[in-house]
Amino acid sequence: MMNQKSLNHRRHDEGSLPQSMEYSPKPTKPWNNWLRPVDYLLREQRIVFVLVGMVLASVFFLWQPDFLSANHRASAHLHHQVVIDRAPILRSAQIAKIPLGLKRIPKRVVVTGGAGFVGSHLVDRLMERGDSVIVVDNFFTGRKENVMHHFGNPRFELLRHDVVEPILLEVDQIYHLACPASPVHYKFNPVKTIKTNVVGTLNMLGLAKRVGARFLLTSTSEVYGDPLEHPQKEEYWGNVNPIGVRSCYDEGKRTAETLTMDYHRGASVEVRIARIFNTYGPRMCIDDGRVVSNFVAQALRKEPMTVYGDGKQTRSFQYVSDLVEGLMRLMESEHVGPFNLGNPGEFTMLELAEVVKDTIDPKARIEFHKNTEDDPHMRKPDISKAKALLGWEPKVPLRDGLPLMVEDFQQRIFGDHSSASLGEDN
């Protein structure tokens, strides 16, 4: 009750304030307020000191007109010198990918078909270079013995896997070699061969797209079929039978090239394409139906060397180390391809048989058999593109490389004890 009275009392007091205590706006400044700064300058002769300073500055710059221009020239000279000094650095940075004094950064590389003939030699070079290598192989034609010397190395992994099934790996580069390459093997299961070429290539291209890896496809000279152009350039589209017994391999590789280029154009995958011509060397399958391995194995076993047809069909033979060098140069280059990788030295089958006889057994005999279906009559690469853009050409002639292959075959066929007997027979 008292609170209510006091509140009413205060409200009554507030309403009865005199008019003199009510709010009023701030009075406006007098009209002569702008004269105060002028008055400040005039007081104590401040304006005189300002004028004297301006006069002194004017006299100084009039008497020494070169002061500003000299400073400007010095500044411009310094800037020009800095630009000139930096120019070699900028040029060298554009030319050299890796600055001098810095080691190459090791890469993580997957090699499909890495336990095979060519793949195992490629793995050797990559390991020697310091890379970490994952070999993916289903061992249809590959052999563990080809890569056993890397077991225990922490930078080496071996996976039994078929590329027709997807796989996920974190890698920087993919060398896709997986596919049976000899007639005996790719004709054994032609449907599996074309699945490897198409589905396997799709899976590895998908992996390259997902992880941002650079992809190299090892295609083949068989994409030229039975060529009407000699020697064969990369621009030649080929003459291939699409329904023949070799088509699972020939057309499979042609489709693999198509997929590779479509991933490059459509998904911006970094790709490289190599077209490999006939290659020989240690670790080839002994009875794979390819002419060099056939002749060597037959001559070592004292069997007649089988020549199909009249023996006048031609081939070009490169040693495996030359091919591996070409593949690595292509992978590290900035060129997509395709590139022919082969030795332009051309031999007829009869000439090759004579070289094998000279190397192994001059008494070796030759037997002629009916030629196989769709066997190309001529095969010789034009490697001018690889020479110009990759700086690559084969170094090992046939007569130098063949004895190295013979030594490997001799050991695998007969064992170590046969070296002496071979020398006695010759």
Count the neighbouring beta carbons within 10 Å of the beta carbon of residue 71: 10
- Please, what are the domains in the chain? 108-425 (3.40.50.720)
Residue type at 293 in one-letter notation: S
Q: What per-residue confidence (pLDDT) applies to 17? A: 47
308 labelled catalytic: no
Q: What per-residue confidence (pLDDT) applies to 11? A: 47
Catalytic one among 175, 249, 263, 319? Answer: 249
- Given a contact cutoff of 8 angstroms between Cβ atoms, the answer to whether 107 and 132 are in contact is yes
345 secondary structure, DSSP code:
-
Q: What per-residue confidence (pLDDT) applies to 44? A: 60
Give the separation between CA 342 and CA 330, rounded to whole angstroms.
13
- Given a contact cutoff of 8 angstroms between Cβ atoms, the answer to whether 356 and 295 are in contact is yes
25 token code pair: 């706006």
Q: What per-residue confidence (pLDDT) applies to 46? A: 64
Average pLDDT, integer, range 89-98: 40
Give the separation between CA 237 and CA 278, rounded to whole angstroms.
19
Average pLDDT, integer, range 280-307: 89
Count the neighbouring beta carbons within 10 Å of the beta carbon of residue 389: 15
**Per DSSP, what are the bridge partners of residue 156?**
133
For the whole model, what pTM was predicted? 0.73
- Given a contact cutoff of 8 angstroms between Cβ atoms, the answer to whether 339 and 326 are in contact is yes
**Per residue in 206-224, pLDDT tens?**
999 999 999 999 999 999 9
Which phi and psi angles does 32 have, rounded to 5°? Answer: -95, 20
63 token code pair: 């008497």
Least confident of 107-116, 145-154, 233-242, 416-425: 416-425
Residue 296, Cα to own-chain centre: how many angstroms? 35
Average pLDDT, integer, range 6-32: 53
The three-class DSSP label of residue 279 is: strand
The three-class DSSP label of residue 5 is: helix
Better-scored residue on pLDDT, 380 or 288: 380
Give the separation between CA 170 and CA 107, rounded to whole angstroms.
11
User: What is the SS3 assignment for 177-203?
Assistant: CCCCCCHHHHHHCHHHHHHHHHHHHHH
Q: What per-residue confidence (pLDDT) applies to 388? A: 95
Region at 276 (left for phi over 0; alpha for psi -120 to 50; beta for the rest): beta
Give the separation between CA 271 and CA 263, rounded to whole angstroms.
8
Axis-axis angle for helices 398-414, 291-300 (nearest 10):
60
Give the separation between CA 55 and CA 78, rounded to whole angstroms.
33
**Backbone CA torsion sign across 375, 401, 303, 297:** negative
16 secondary structure, DSSP code:
T
Pseudo-torsion of CA 249, 255, 261, 263, nearest 10°?
A: -110
Q: What per-residue confidence (pLDDT) applies to 37? A: 66
246 secondary structure, DSSP code:
T
